[in-house]
Amino acid sequence: MLDPSQSLQPDSAGSSFQRAALLTTFPCLFAVMLMVSGCAKTAQVKTRPKDKAAAAYVDGLKSMASSNFLEAQQTFTGVVKMPAYLAATTVARIRLADTLFAQSKYEEAVQVYQGYVRRHDGSSNVPYARFRIAQSYFQLVPTDFWLLPPVFEMDLSTVERARYYLEAFIRRYPTSDFGPQALTMRDRCIELQMAQHRYVIRFYQGRKKPMGVIFRSHELMRRFPVRGHGVADYTVLASAYGAVDWRRRELELQREIARRWPSQSAGKSARSRVAALGILIAKLKAEGKKDAEMPVELPPTAKDRPELLAGPDGAARSSRKKSVSKSDS
């Protein structure tokens, strides 16, 4: 434990007084001592490294409390360079990272936090350092600004990285006091990622590219096995199936919509569509049509059935339920 209040002590109690007494009482002896040593030495009070580090650490905390983060950064940098066995040196590394974070130097802060985790993996401060790493990455995520396009239309590599570290923290420390904050930030990352997927889906819809809609819808449902399975997602995918005459898949999906959302307008429309598709498929088969149920050209994800992998009870129905990620639940 640090003891910043501990006063500085000389290397031996009363040594200054003893030297003064020696000088006045035994001048001849003192002269001999000077001749032997060859030089006069002034009595000095030595500060122990422990006390010096603790005092500097407290000075850094005072600078932080006054929002003098640059000064605090310089102070903690000096403490970190002191002997590694000192308690103040260890915690100063965390405070140094905090000052960088406070100055919006998030990438630099991440490096210092990670350095702390590597050096002190068993410390009680490690959960805090890991949380701040994730939070620093989240702070690098772009924010909406009226002069710029929406964030979900931009490169979301920073969102992907932030979500990775946030989910790692949530899994590692499920009962942490920082958990609610981590969940809020993680949810924001998911919202941005899903918004980008749906933006691309709308792009393909507007350009009459149903295969693109199918591919991106499959990707959305695979990556977000709970939140990517809303009624709107299913109706968009069913419509794309119908646009490429993939009647069997559309029939199956329309049945799923009718079953999951029976009281909604989409569920009622789905029941009507199921009846019409059943009649159409039977008719085309009777005529000997080879494409009665599916088109000749299929998307690369044709073998996948992501629309049946999740949702309210999709995971229970799927034989692949163990491989479905629950990270966005």
CATH classification of the domain holding 127: 1.25.40.10
Q: Which residues contact 103 (CB under 8 A, 6 or more apart)?
A: 69, 70, 73
Same domain, 238 and 131: no
CA atoms within 13 A on the CB side of 2: 18
Burial of 276 (0-12, 13-18, 19+ CB in 10 A): exposed
Contacts 24+ apart (CB under 8 A), 275-281: 277/247, 277/250, 277/251, 278/251, 280/247, 281/247, 281/248, 281/251
Residue 193 within a domain: no
CA dist 49 and 120 (Å) reads: 21
Residue 265 within a domain: yes
Domain stops at, among 130, 160, 185: 185
Q: Which residues contact 190 (CB under 8 A, 6 or more apart)?
A: 163, 224, 227, 328
Give me the number of domains the chain comprises: 2
Burial of 169 (0-12, 13-18, 19+ CB in 10 A): buried
Name the phi and psi angles at 35, rounded to 5: -65, -40
CA dist 96 and 89 (Å) reads: 10
CA dist 293 and 251 (Å) reads: 9
Residue 147 within a domain: yes
Same domain, 63 and 131: yes
Structural domain harbouring 314: 222-323
Domain stops at, among 160, 185, 210: 185
Which segments of 59-197 are extended strands (E)?
none
Same domain, 131 and 177: yes
Same domain, 181 and 73: yes
Same domain, 83 and 178: yes
Same domain, 264 and 138: no
Question: 3-class SS at 107?
Answer: helix
Same domain, 231 and 130: no
Residue 2 within a domain: no
Give the amino acid at 260: R
Same domain, 60 and 165: yes
Same domain, 61 and 164: yes
Residue 124 within a domain: yes
Same domain, 76 and 179: yes
Q: What is the pLDDT along the chain (329 residues), one digit of tens a residue?
A: 444 333 333 333 333 333 333 333 334 333 333 333 444 344 454 567 677 888 888 998 999 999 999 999 999 999 988 887 788 888 999 999 999 999 999 999 999 999 999 988 888 999 999 999 999 999 998 765 444 556 656 668 889 999 999 999 999 999 999 999 999 999 999 999 998 999 999 999 999 999 999 999 998 998 898 889 999 999 999 999 999 999 999 999 999 999 999 999 999 999 999 999 999 988 988 888 877 788 877 767 777 777 776 654 444 444 444 443 444 54
Contacts 24+ apart (CB under 8 A), 295-299: 295/244, 295/245, 295/246, 297/211, 297/244, 298/246, 299/211, 299/214, 299/215, 299/218
Same domain, 63 and 170: yes
pTM equals: 0.71
CA dist 97 and 92 (Å) reads: 9
Residue 34 within a domain: no
Domain stops at, among 138, 159, 185: 185
Name the phi and psi angles at 206, rounded to 5: -65, -25
Residue 177 within a domain: yes
Tokens, residue 51: 């006390």
